Homo-oligomer: A and B are copies of this chain.
Amino acid sequence: MKKSITLVLLAALIAGPALAHEASNTESLIKYRQSGYAFMAWNMGRIKANVEGQYNKEEVIKAANAIQAIANSGMGALYQQGTDKGKGWEETRVKPELFTDKETVGKVATTFNTEANEMAKVAAAGDAAAVKVQLGKLGESCKGCHEKFKRKD
């Protein structure tokens, strides 16, 4: 009896911190990716406000650069196995398919990166009408991934 309790305690000592670390790591990864998307959403909104209202070239450039750098930061690293479920800032809405359908994930990710890079280029040129067109394309590339890999709930 005493021995088995010792074993349980030992197991807890070994597994405990590891499990705690794993849980907190999952939470962090989900939190980081939710943060990246939320920050991009803010900047999408700013560009939208600019093309629909008073156009401020510098603000659009800053917003487009932030989206571009986040898009190219390598957020794929935040989708580690085991992060298909869990809570970051809120419950993740990622679909399990994102972790299995690598071909489609690769396609939507590449499209998104291409459109984000183009957005930064178009913003730098400063033509409001062209920015509006490119914002539409970039938005479509966001939607392309959401429709396939993000739950609506």
Contacts and interface: CB of A to CB of B under 8 A. Distances in A.
Nearest to A58: B74
Given A62-B72, A69-B65, A73-B66, A39 B32 contact: yes
A34 B90 CA distance: 14
A31 B34 CA distance: 11
A38 B43 contact: no
Contact of A42 (B35, B38, B43, B66): B35
B59 A65 contact: no
A62 B73 contact: yes
A82 to B, nearest CB: 17
22 contacts: A31-B38, A32-B38, A32-B39, A34-B35, A35-B39, A35-B42, A36-B39, A36-B42, A39-B39, A43-B73, A62-B74, A63-B73, A63-B74, A65-B69, A65-B72, A66-B69, A66-B70, A66-B72, A69-B70, A70-B70, A89-B89, A89-B90
